[in-house]
Structures are given as C-alpha cells and as structure tokens.
Chains A and B, each alone.
Chain A
Amino acid sequence: MININGLKFNYSDFVQQYNGFQLAIDELIIDANEKVAIVGPSGSGKTTLLNLLSGIYVPQTGSIEIAGTHISQLSDKQRRAFRINHIGFIFQDFALIDFLTVQDNIIHPYRISKALKLTKDVVERIQVLAELMGISDKLNRYPQQLSQGEKQRVAICRALLPGPSLLLADEATGNLDPDNKQKILELIFNSADTFNATLITVTHDHELLPHFDRVIDFKTFVSSTKAVVQKENGKVSGQKGNFHAQ
C-alpha cells in the first residue's frame, strides 16, 4: 500500500523556523488495511510524515508510493486531486467549519474540489455514515451545538465520505475524555475495516497502542537511527522500515 524509499525532507524551503530539521526515511512499507500508530516526542517529524504521505509536502529526495501512485512525482494539482480522492484526514481539533451544518461539513470536500462530484448517491451515503456514527439526528445542527465526541464523529464522517483508501489521523483522540477516546478509536478502527482503508495515526496516548497492528516510535528511532516496529500485543516482529529524524 505505502512504500517509502530514500526519503529526505527538510523545511528550509518552507518555513525558516524549522531550519535544521530533517526527516530521512531509508525505507518504510505499510501494508494495505494495516493500522499503524506513530508515537514520539513533539518535533520528531510525526506530523511531517503525515503531510508527506498526503502530498502536502514533497520530499527533496526519495519517493513515496501509495497504492501504486508515486505521489512525489505528481504535479500540485494532481497531488490535491489524489489527496481528496484517496486520503481521509482526521484532525485533533476536528477542524469543522463553524458556519456550516453537520451535513454541510461532511459534504465539504465535495464543495472545495472539482475532483469530487457531488451526486445523489453521495448525499444518500451521508445518511448511512451518519447513522453508523450515531449522529443522524444532528445533521442540521451547527458544530457549536455538538459535544466534543460528536464533533469528532462528524470529522470522521467527512474523512470517510469520499471512500479513502488511506486514513490519516493526527491526534484524533487528543481532545476527548477517556470514555469518548475509546469509543472514537473503536469507530475509526471499524470505519477503516468497513472501507478497507489503511490507518496511520499519530498519537501521544500510549494506552491506545495495543490496539494497533504496528507502532512506529520516532523517539527510539532518533536514538538508534533505526526503525522500531512493534506488532500488536507488544510483540516485536522486527524491522520493516529504516528512517531517522535529525
């Protein structure tokens, strides 16, 4: 599903304040439908990796291949079209648009890009997704009228609506209470299974790690310059990748 080779990226071209940061990944392979957690200290490059996978950033060297497409070789327009068609984003702060209703928030990707066509089927799918997430009675409400847990369910619906093959969650449970945390994670897992999507989650919450197929710890990696790959239930299965951040 995901194949990263010889990737090197630094922010010098983008943001001066990150000057000196460099993310380098010799090789990283993530299988289709795999659920991967990325952990590590702030500034270690976790979110940068998500942005590289989604094509927001382009590496200076190396390649990123997702579902057979070399996204680093695509034009800006093609990368955006790929992102909106194949990648679903779930953010820590939900990133809902406050002036749109729940339904309009879910449908939002279809309104901001010509790569997606808003059809009757799509509108019907919203209802199915909303029922799946338990928010079907809240479609006409505004985000400010929802609880934190409900907001994240809306964000998940929005990420899932285009039917992505890759779900990227950046601290998706970071703003939730423990009860909601578990429920939302369960929903994300179930959704990934239902939609046959690969899930990559950045998290600081170590309690959630046992649920994932694999955990990539950027901190261990920084010290050893080797990828640490852990299997579910804490069993170490061996290295599948090789990357480092400096």
Chain B
Amino acid sequence: MLNSFYLAWQYIRFYKLRSTILIACITLITFLPLSLQLLLNKSEDVLFQRASETPLLLGAKSSPLDLVLNSLYFDDETPTLISLNAADIIWDSEMASAIPLYIRFKARKTPIVGTTLDYFSYRKLELSSGRLLNLLGETVIGANVAKRLNLKVGDTLLSSPETVFDLAGIYPLKMKVVGILQPAYTIDDEAVLVDIKTTWIIEGLVHGHEDVTQIKDQSVILSSDAENVSANAKLMHYNEITEDNIDSFHIHGDTSQYPLTAIIVIPNDEKSGTLLRGRFINHEQYQLVKPITVIDGLMESVFRIKHIIDGVVFLVGIATLLAIFLVFSLSLRLREKEFATVFKMGGNRLTTAYLMSTEIIIIGFISLVACFLLLMLITHYSTEIVRLLIIQ
C-alpha cells in the first residue's frame, strides 16, 4: 500500500502541470456549490437575524427592499427621503417609539449612520472604550472600523463628499472619535455612528461660520441693515466643531422638514404594531414595512437563482468529471508500456489498477483539502462577502 502511494505520488509530482490542473478542476467543482450554499446560508442568517430584530420600518413610499437594505444593512442605495415629522406621527400615535435614521454619507468608504442614543440601547451596542455621543461632530465607531482605519478615541475622521465634483458645497466634516464599540458581530461593527444633527451638518443644513456682525473684512459683506447681514461665499465655514465655535452652529428653516432615510418603529406590543401597520396601508407618503417579510421575499428570489446556478454547476460538474475520466483513460493508454514492464518484472496485473486508484485517491484528497481550506477562508470572510455580494 505504501509503495503504491509512493509511486503514485512520484507520478503526480513529476507531472506537476497535469496534476495541478486536475486538482484545480476537482477543487473548483466541489468548492463552487459548497461555497455558494455556505454563503447563502450565511446571508440567510445575517439578513434574517437583523430583520427579525427590527420589528417595523417607516420610510417613503418606494422600494421596500431599498428601504430595508439601507436601514438594516447600510446599503449604498439611498431610499427616497422622508422628513423628521414622520417620527412625530409615530410618537403621537402613542403606540410605538421611533428611532430616526439618516444613512446617506460616508467617511473613508464607511457608512455614516445618523441616529439618536436610543439606537445604541436598542441594538445593545456596548462601548469598549470612550463614551457615547454628547456633542455635535462627535462619532462612535464600530469595532471593525476602528481596526481597519486604525482609529482610537481622540482621533478624527473626515466625512467624504457625496461626489468628487460636489458643486453644492457640502464641506467634509472633521468628526472626533469619542467612543469605540465592542464587536457586535453585526453590520454595526462596520458603521460610523453620529447624532442625526451631525449628518445634517455634513449635508450643510446645520452649519457654523464666522459671526458676520464681527467680521472686519468688509469684502465678505454683501449687504447690511439693522436686522440682517448678508455675506458672500467668501465667508469662512467651519469644518470642525470645537468648543470655541460650537455656539456658531445653527439651523436654518423648519427642522420638522429635515431629511431622514427611515425610522425604526418599535411598537409597544403586537396589537399596537398591527394597528400601526393598518394605519399606513394606504398612506400616500409613507410605508410601514415588516423587514422580515421583505427579507423573506428577497431570499426566495436568491434561492430561485441558486437553483438555476445549482443546475449549471451540476452540468459543468458532469462535464468536468467526463474530462477527468478522459484524462485518466488517456493516461492509462500512455502508460501501457510502463504497466507491461511492471507485469514482465513480476508485478500483479492489478498493480496497474492499484497505482491508478491511488493516484486518483491522492488527487481527490488534495482537492478536498484545498476545497476545505477555501471553504474555511470563505467562512472566515463570509460576513464581508455576504455584505459585498448580496447586500451591496
């Protein structure tokens, strides 16, 4: 047996290219369906877990999937915006509490989640260092963000403009990291959490600038009377909130009309939830969706596609196995002389079968080990892959 393994191994080693191709074929054909199943199971877990922890979501009447993916998994696709007064509707109903969300901006490719402190307690997010949000311009970052961007409490993080040519003039905001979360093993590990007003500062709706009444450079002033002073674009806007300039930050307009992407609605009880959903069934502006139902629909579509992929992989698998069979048949013919020599010297005719079987076993074993290692790798990065391939 050992000799068969030795000889088969020498053969595999000598014909490296042929063996590598065979191993790669078997590895891929085994790995593809298994990894697909693994990723789908993982995505099912990730998506369902988060969805089941979020009873209801209020958003604009558009795609429920966009609303759920953005609010729960911080997807890049921003849903149609709603205004802050939608939260008042929920509060006024006295049947549920509301946690506003504004998930639109990014800082170094990481989603900025504008919300309130209720979000932290609702998602059971614990701090590993620092403190929670107190002031405008402060941020608490997820564990993975801190690791990936090498940030610690006291560092700053700059928000990114929405587009490279941001002519609307949304200035990057330098945010101060005041807290780092413990790993929650959810998408919150990948988030930059800020107060909802901070996201409005990033958007330019809340801003701070030099006191126009105190400016010495008169070229900045457009007009001035007893009640109003108008300044031109030369007026310096602050891109960092400090103790010195925090008082200069102010809101223009009606805050109830300020934008949100969604509101997490937490009904007081099941009945309240049902009643609330009833109220929004035919609402003109808003929709109140049950995330678990939306995700269920999404997974149904994903699994329908998976069945098609399974079929394709099955056919490719058969083709690969036939090709492998052909390779071994040709190999058998090419090695006829070698096997004849073995027999002439006194070897059993079955030696040929032993050698070929051992070779197949070794190649199969290496392929399975390679497949196993790849699956381990996929398992290790499954959350990131699911986020990259399915959520985004």
Chain B CB within 8 A of A89 CB: yes
B341 pairs with A111, CB closer than 8 A: no
A95 pairs with B337, CB closer than 8 A: yes
A85 to B347, CA, bound (A): 11
Q: How many A-B residue pairs have CB under 8 A?
A: 61
Which residue of chain A lies nearest to B12 when distances are taken between CB atoms in the complex?
A99
Which residue of chain B lies nearest to A115 when distances are taken between CB atoms in the complex?
B346
A56 pairs with B348, CB closer than 8 A: no
Chain B CB within 8 A of A109 CB: yes
A83 pairs with B346, CB closer than 8 A: yes
Which residue of chain B lies nearest to A54 when distances are taken between CB atoms in the complex?
B344
Of B2-10, B65-73, B207-215, B248-256, the one touching chain A: B2-10
Within the complex, which residue of B3, B14, B348 is in contact with A99, where a contact is CB–CB below 8 Å?
B14
Interface string of A83-112 (1 = CB under 8 A from B): 111010101000101111000100011111
- Rounded to whole Å, the gap between the CB of A171 and the closest CB of chain B is 14
Chain A CB within 8 A of B53 CB: no
Chain A CB within 8 A of B49 CB: no
Chain A CB within 8 A of B351 CB: yes
A109 pairs with B345, CB closer than 8 A: yes
A87 to B7, CA, bound (A): 23
* Chain B positions 1-44 with a Cβ under 8 Å from a chain A Cβ: 3, 6-7, 10-11, 13-15
**Which A residues are CB-close (under 8 A) to B338?**
95, 97
B337 pairs with A112, CB closer than 8 A: no
- Rounded to whole Å, the gap between the CB of A17 and the closest CB of chain B is 17
A54 to B14, CA, bound (A): 31
A77 to B349, CA, bound (A): 10
Within the complex, which residue of A77, A100, A104, A108 is in contact with B345, where a contact is CB–CB below 8 Å?
A108
Q: Which of B7, B337, B341, B342 has the most CB of A within 10 A?
A: B341
Q: Given A100-B7, A118-B3, list of 4 further CB < 8 A pairs?
A: A80-B348, A97-B341, A112-B345, A142-B14
Within the complex, which residue of A95, A99, A113, A142 is in contact with B347, where a contact is CB–CB below 8 Å?
A113
Chain A CB within 8 A of B365 CB: no
Chain B CB within 8 A of A29 CB: no
Within the complex, which residue of A56, A100, A108, A111 is in contact with B343, where a contact is CB–CB below 8 Å?
A56
Within the complex, which residue of B10, B11, B15, B347 is in contact with A112, where a contact is CB–CB below 8 Å?
B347
**Which B residues are CB-close (under 8 A) to A80?**
346-348
Count residues of B near A (Cβ-Cβ below 8 Å): 19
Which residue of chain B lies nearest to A170 when distances are taken between CB atoms in the complex?
B344
A112 to B346, CA, bound (A): 8
A115 to B345, CA, bound (A): 12
Within the complex, which residue of A54, A81, A112 is in contact with B342, where a contact is CB–CB below 8 Å?
A112
A100 to B15, CA, bound (A): 11
Which residue of chain A lies nearest to B14 when distances are taken between CB atoms in the complex?
A99
**Which A residues are CB-close (under 8 A) to B7?**
100, 111-112
- Rounded to whole Å, the gap between the CB of B349 and the closest CB of chain A is 9
A99 pairs with B15, CB closer than 8 A: yes
| 11 A-B pairs whose Cβ atoms sit less than 8 Å apart in the complex | A80-B346, A81-B346, A84-B345, A97-B338, A99-B13, A104-B10, A111-B6, A112-B348, A113-B347, A113-B348, A118-B3
Which residue of chain B lies nearest to A87 when distances are taken between CB atoms in the complex?
B346
**Which A residues are CB-close (under 8 A) to B6?**
111
- Rounded to whole Å, the gap between the CB of A201 and the closest CB of chain B is 16
A100 pairs with B346, CB closer than 8 A: no
Q: Which of B6, B338, B341, B345 has the most CB of A within 10 A?
A: B345
* Chain B positions 319-355 with a Cβ under 8 Å from a chain A Cβ: 337-338, 341-348, 351
Which residue of chain A lies nearest to B4 when distances are taken between CB atoms in the complex?
A111
Which residue of chain A lies nearest to B355 when distances are taken between CB atoms in the complex?
A112
Interface string of A203-228 (1 = CB under 8 A from B): 00000000000000000000000000
* Chain A positions 42-90 with a Cβ under 8 Å from a chain B Cβ: 54, 56, 77, 80-85, 87, 89
* Chain B positions 337-390 with a Cβ under 8 Å from a chain A Cβ: 337-338, 341-348, 351
- Rounded to whole Å, the gap between the CB of A203 and the closest CB of chain B is 18
With A99-B10, A99-B14, A104-B10 known as contacts, the answer to whether A111 contacts B3 (CB < 8 A) is yes
**Which A residues are CB-close (under 8 A) to B341?**
91, 95, 97
- Rounded to whole Å, the gap between the CB of A226 and the closest CB of chain B is 30
A56 to B7, CA, bound (A): 24
A83 to B342, CA, bound (A): 11
**Which B residues are CB-close (under 8 A) to A110?**
3
**Which B residues are CB-close (under 8 A) to A91?**
341, 344
Within the complex, which residue of B10, B14, B345, B351 is in contact with A83, where a contact is CB–CB below 8 Å?
B345
A37 to B343, CA, bound (A): 24
A98 to B7, CA, bound (A): 12
- Rounded to whole Å, the gap between the CB of A234 and the closest CB of chain B is 33
A91 to B11, CA, bound (A): 22
**Which B residues are CB-close (under 8 A) to A142?**
14
Which residue of chain A lies nearest to B13 when distances are taken between CB atoms in the complex?
A99
Which residue of chain B lies nearest to A104 when distances are taken between CB atoms in the complex?
B10
- Rounded to whole Å, the gap between the CB of A108 and the closest CB of chain B is 7
A111 to B15, CA, bound (A): 20
A56 pairs with B344, CB closer than 8 A: yes
Which residue of chain B lies nearest to A86 when distances are taken between CB atoms in the complex?
B346
With A111-B3, A112-B3, A112-B351 known as contacts, the answer to whether A99 contacts B11 (CB < 8 A) is yes
- Rounded to whole Å, the gap between the CB of A181 and the closest CB of chain B is 22
